[in-house]
Amino acid sequence: MKKKFEYEQTTKIIFGSGCIKELPGLAAGLGNKILLVTGKKKSSREKLYDRITESLRNSGLTVFHFDKVSQNPTTKCVEEGTAIAEKEGCQVVIGLGGGSAMDTAKAIAVAAANEGTAWDYLFFKNPQPQEALPVIAVPTTAGTGSQVTQVAVMTETKTCTKSAIFNNLIYPRVALIDPELAVSMPAHITASTGFDAFCHCFESYINVKASPYTDMIALEGIKYAAQYLRRAVKDGEDMEAREGMAWADTCGGLAIANAGVTLPHGVGMTISGHCPQIMHGESLALTYPSFLRFTCLAAEKKFAEVGRIFNPALKDVSDSRAASECCEEIEKLMKDIGMWLNFRQFGVEYEMLRRIADRGHELPDYQANPRIADIEEIYRELKEGYNRV
């Protein structure tokens, strides 16, 4: 072993097609009053929400459905869900959906069990929460890894601040990962969340806090993303691809829970804090090409390893060439899945880039990058993302 490290993971993982049927029994083992946290009921997911609610109630559980979660959930959203949990005496919180629903569920679990609001317990604040309601996380996308992390992200709209709770108390008790739930996910959502899953794996792999254990998990996720992401975007009913991406997503979550992310994630959260119309995966894509070129030489060996995963023909070339080719392979992936994006597509004014850049060090992720980007470098990367074609 090259260095001392620690790894912690307290979530029970249940993985496999059809495993959603285990949800009522798992919930009943934790309590009988359930808060189900989802996106809007009047959506393409309505039948799924109704089916799961019915299955829980048929098992004798009392279910309260909070369905006001949208992308980039706000502190107001969390407070509304918390009010229901407190009023009804909910004992268990189920987050069903993408990262927004699962993060909101975890934030509610903190706020409902402690004084104050969820925003009072961000990662850098004291005191930290002393308890949390148990959470079951059921992803319907394959991207955020939230089902196996101790992170809950939310946005305070009045200050355009996107930040997070980071506390081991909010590791979900159970992650119920059923790839069948992602079959109806639209192609662009598949691409955006899937790219996020890849980024989790890649950034945890190059992270200065990485360990042999997280490297092993991250490389596994990268292999699956490289093999299956294009297929999942092309054909949402390709179950092998859906299962592969569900596993890549889980590996990414397991890796970042202990190693963390790097420069693009901190900048991406600042982007979404100012521009809530931009999904998290999209915010990453806006700076990723520039980030890759900026960071490559500082982590040449690891970039080379990833390059060889994407293109086995690089096996016998130098690390320098394989690392450079890695950047091109990731860019090709982005283009193939429709994630080659620019800020203009989202109606972002050029002047906004300066405001985002000036807050680029508020979150600590940039410190874990193999090469540290100052504010002007972040601004440069944002500007490159404005007119990218």
Asked if 70 and 40 count as a contact pair (C-beta separation under 8 A), the reply is yes
CA-nearest of 151, 206, 201 to 369 is 206
One pLDDT digit (tens) per residue for the chain, 389 residues: 567 899 999 999 999 999 999 999 999 999 999 999 999 987 888 899 999 999 999 999 999 999 999 899 999 999 999 999 999 999 999 999 999 999 999 999 999 999 999 999 999 999 999 999 999 999 999 999 999 999 999 999 999 999 999 999 999 999 999 999 999 899 999 999 999 999 999 999 999 999 999 999 999 999 999 999 999 999 999 999 999 999 999 999 999 999 999 999 999 999 999 999 999 999 999 999 999 999 999 999 999 999 999 999 999 999 999 999 999 999 999 999 999 999 999 999 999 999 999 999 999 999 999 999 999 999 999 999 999 99
Task: Say whether 210 sits in a helix, a strand or coil.
Answer: coil
Residue 45 has what pLDDT? Answer: 87
Residue 118 CB-density burial (10 A; 0-12 exposed, 13-18 middle, 19+ buried): buried
Partners of 153 in beta bridges: 164
Residue 9 CB-density burial (10 A; 0-12 exposed, 13-18 middle, 19+ buried): middle
The whole model's pTM is what?
0.96
Residue 83 has what pLDDT? Answer: 98
* Domain boundary assignment for the chain: 12-182, 187-386
Asked if 360 and 366 count as a contact pair (C-beta separation under 8 A), the reply is yes
Q: What angle do CA 356, 200, 235 make, to 5 degrees?
A: 105
Residue 178 has what pLDDT? Answer: 98
Q: Is the peptide bond before 172 cis (omega within 30 degrees of 0)?
A: no
Task: Say whether 240 sits in a helix, a strand or coil.
Answer: helix
Q: State the CB neighbour count (10 A cutoff) for residue 18.
A: 9
Provide the CATH number for the domain formed by 12-182 in this structure: 3.40.50.1970
Length of the chain: 389
187-386 is classed in which CATH architecture? Answer: Up-down Bundle (1.20)
